[in-house]
Structure 1
């Protein structure tokens, strides 16, 4: 695969803002074919002996008689000196223990090192590198991230705006078929339109609420990683993160610069991938129908916003930027770690 390159991944130490410890530990255990080393202890000791010695002297004096040859019996003076040697040994023992603890940072370092050594790591820098990716591949890439636009878009779709859009659409339909020269026809078709508007408004408010509930998750966050140089996006990495594994409290820190990602691919490269395919409700609709729905919603909100602005009321929508698809090639990943 063209994505396999001999790129040095250990040139400088890394600082992680996101790391899934179970993924890192599990991969390392599989690569090492053994138990995960968490603590290593090294013990050393020495003994020393110090010897002390000294002399103790004693003296004794006395008189006695003894037979001395050729002199017969004579008196002799006794003077005896006794010397005793005393010795003692002092034994001292010194013992030291050094403990090494292996952290998640060291595991990540080793995982990246082994993956690179075994040519299991696909470096993604362009659309060509990503073209042959398939689910299960391990990739590393650097990207500039943007947040998921769907929650912000859905927040704009308030019940009031949804009702206004439905009313405008239904009234546009009615005005095209009413015979304005026939008063009874006007009254009849206008009444029918009001009835449809009431029904459609409640239906679409319920549909939008269901879509919001399906998209909004307290457990996951979705980011779009633009891969490319000099502002030219060649491929997008759809990165789905678990909130619990961010190492920083501010989850939007990932939007503050360019970050590297070590990840497992969950879906290979596709072109113009539908933006709403994660939604269980909208995924059942044909992509072309979703495109039309988003375009209609965009036009409806824009018209409503323009009308609101014309009435002198403040507006927060300047450029909606709503798109139903991710432009160009993209692939999906489950991040193992995100670092800089």
Structure 2
């Protein structure tokens, strides 16, 4: 009788070991099995307050796993730390362990938006409004964007935000505020402008880094070929040194605002406004666009030379002249006899 009891207990122990081993194998094997879904990727949104055990139930209910138990046990017994909220992209072949690692690291999907050089704040806001992700957030207006901006000392608010945002490609997670991206772009512009100002050439006719920013925005708008950027900067710097008017069309166009219909006329050049550099003998009061680093560098490190004038050839490049007579001849050749293929900037840069 006693021997039978021992045999029964031993048999039950063996069965229990086999069951435990089988269960352990099932759990560990489930953790390394590819998650099941159709398509190449699966987007998982993790909201604030989510837990691994809760996500395990959700993944099971959405058909990605055969049971929530393996992930729940793994979460309780093997995971320390909190998961991060956000948008996660699961790729075919990835497992529960892969997903948990992403959640703990915060490896969320990053979206992108590119703000090209030479665009205004209003144009940046249009890009934000057209973005498939950012447009889902409350969209700021110019007043809200301007409220982010301080001048070069980082303390004084400015009235006009134009020029104070650095053109670049910015990455961001879903649900990030567009204002946060503008704030990042402003801080980047402040840092780059300060660095370029420290390394500027001597004897420039610029009293502050803000004036450099204004000049850089004009150079940005006037430049069709990157190779001409410092040459154009040299023309403007020499004109400022001589007290000459800059006489540059982009400032007039900016000053016209919504009244500009794409056709700049002689009448426009004679209209008084703070941005009409055909009438004022100095820089306009603010930048006219957001310039890139190359334009800022050119404004502060212009190419030496003698040219005081330039005119667009129609192929994106410019003809530079030392005297007014030379310039008038160039205008007649390149502006008054425009071909059908005339353009002020290279194809793709207009």
TM range (shorter): under 0.3
TM-score normalized with structure 1 length: 0.25
Using CA pairs below 8 Å that are at least 6 residues apart, which structure has the higher relative contact order?
A: 1
Larger C-alpha radius of gyration, 1 or 2?
Answer: 1
TM-score normalized with structure 2 length: 0.25
